[in-house]
Amino acid sequence: MPSTPLTLNRTWRLAVLTGLAALVTAACGGGPDGAGGQEPAAPGAPAAIPDTTALIESVQKDAAVAGTLPAKYTQAGMLHLASNLQSAPNNFYAADGKTPIGYEVDLAKAIGKKLGVTVHHQDMAFGSLITSLQSGRVDLTMAAMNDTKTRQAQIDFVDYFSSGITIMVRKGNPDQISGPDTLCGKNVAVVQGTSHQKFAEEQNGKCAQAGKPALTVTATDSDTQNQNQLRTGRVAAILNDLPSAVYISRTAGEGKFFEVVPGEPINGGPYGIGVNKENKPLAESIQKALQSLIADGGYGKILQAWGVEQGALKEAKLNGGS
């Protein structure tokens, strides 16, 4: 990934996190992994960045599951996981600008603990995740990537969360967007290479069939770029996944910048941890580790800490998406 976009994206991330820090009564700091902790938020205010240190430390190795992990990973003591670290509360950077945090990061750490290994995060563009996995550059991907039949032709998935596309607009909804059909004729922002972009293109076709004006779709490399465009009115809406949209609308500008359009998530389905299709043993070990985490309650506690428990799965499936 070129250095200039990464630098710009990180600058935007830090700007957003600086705004989020105003929501809590104490800044991050002191945690053993750099994520730190914080005092409770004021009554009624969302806890933007929960301290999950003790929760992750409480996860115990599952010897039976760890025994299924291919020997090369056990010997290395590490799994290399690629993500697009720009999407709170899924995965993003702490206030130090370098420590990955989020409910996906916590799930990955917990899965690693079940397997007796650590998980190293690598930040890259969303559009590069699948090819990096196929080339063997990384072992896993975890970046709010929808498990779909199309992607299953390229990689395997271990499903860990259920979500769908949500429409986020400026506070007060000045463009009066009430659902997908009201996006016709509007400027809409998406992240390049995501299912949101595909949906926007499909919706464009529906607008044309209905004799309505087309969407103008702006595809960028990060959510933070899209949020800036929405705040300044360059776009009327952002298409994002449910957890990200809810989190951003509750925290950005102390909840004064954005809101989520009510309604059921669009094209709901599971997120999946990506694994190279030629590495079934690793996929099966990850599935078993996640199922162990679901069974002992650790999985639900992690999601609840981040306020996204509505997306919890009862079973970790392989390629369960449609």
Percent of the chain whose pLDDT exceeds 70: 85
Among 3.10.620.30, 3.40.190.10, 3.30.360.10, 3.10.20.90, what is the CATH number of 165-267? 3.40.190.10
What is the tens place of the pLDDT at every residue in 39-55? Answer: 333 333 345 689 999 99
Which range is least confidently modeled, 45-59, 95-109, 122-136, 184-198? 45-59
Q: What is the pLDDT of residue 86?
A: 86
**CA 229 to CA 223: how far, in whole Å?**
10
Task: Give mean pLDDT, residues 283-287.
Answer: 98
11 pLDDT higher than 80: no
- The answer to whether domain 3-163+269-311 and domain 165-267 are alike in fold is yes
pLDDT for res 278: 97
pLDDT tens track for 45-86: 345 689 999 999 999 999 999 999 999 999 999 999 999 998
Give residue-wise pLDDT tens across range 214-254.
999 999 998 889 999 999 999 999 999 888 888 888 889 98
Give the pLDDT band of residue 34 (cuts 50, 70, 90): very low
Q: Which residues contact 28 (CB under 8 A, 6 or more apart)?
A: 21, 35, 36, 37, 38, 49, 94, 95, 96
Rounded Cα distance, 300 and 319, in Å: 21
Q: Look at the pTM and tell me if it is higher than 0.75.
A: no
Each residue's pLDDT tens digit, 96-114: 999 999 999 999 999 999 9
Taking residues 194-203, report their average pLDDT.
93
Strands, E, within the chain: which ranges?
78-83, 92-93, 100-101, 118-123, 140-141, 155-170, 187-191, 216-220, 237-241, 258-260, 266-276
**pLDDT tens for residues 267-282?**
889 999 999 999 999 9
More confident residue, 222 or 139: 139
Q: 298 falls in which pLDDT band (50, 70, 90)? A: very high
CATH superfamily for 3-163+269-311 is: Periplasmic binding protein-like II (3.40.190.10)
What would the two tokens of residue 102 be?
């989020």
Torsion of CA 125, 126, 131, 135, to 10 degrees: 60
| Contact call for residues 100 and 121 (beta carbons, < 8 A) | yes
Q: What is the phi/psi pair of residue 207, to 5°?
A: -60, -45
CB-side neighbour CA atoms (13 Å) of 268? 12
Tell me, what's the pLDDT at 37? Answer: 28
The model's confidence at residue 266, banded by pLDDT at 50, 70 and 90, is confident
Q: Name the residue with higher pLDDT: 160 or 244.
A: 160
Scan for tokens 């730190």, then name that residue: 36
Cα separation of 109 and 252, whole Å? Answer: 27
Query: How far is it, in rounded angstroms, from Cα 211 to Cα 193?
Result: 27
How much is the mean pLDDT over the chain?
Answer: 85
- Using pLDDT thresholds of 50, 70 and 90, give the confidence band for residue 177: very high
Per DSSP, 96 falls in state T
What is the domain partition of the chain in residue ranges?
Answer: 3-163+269-311, 165-267
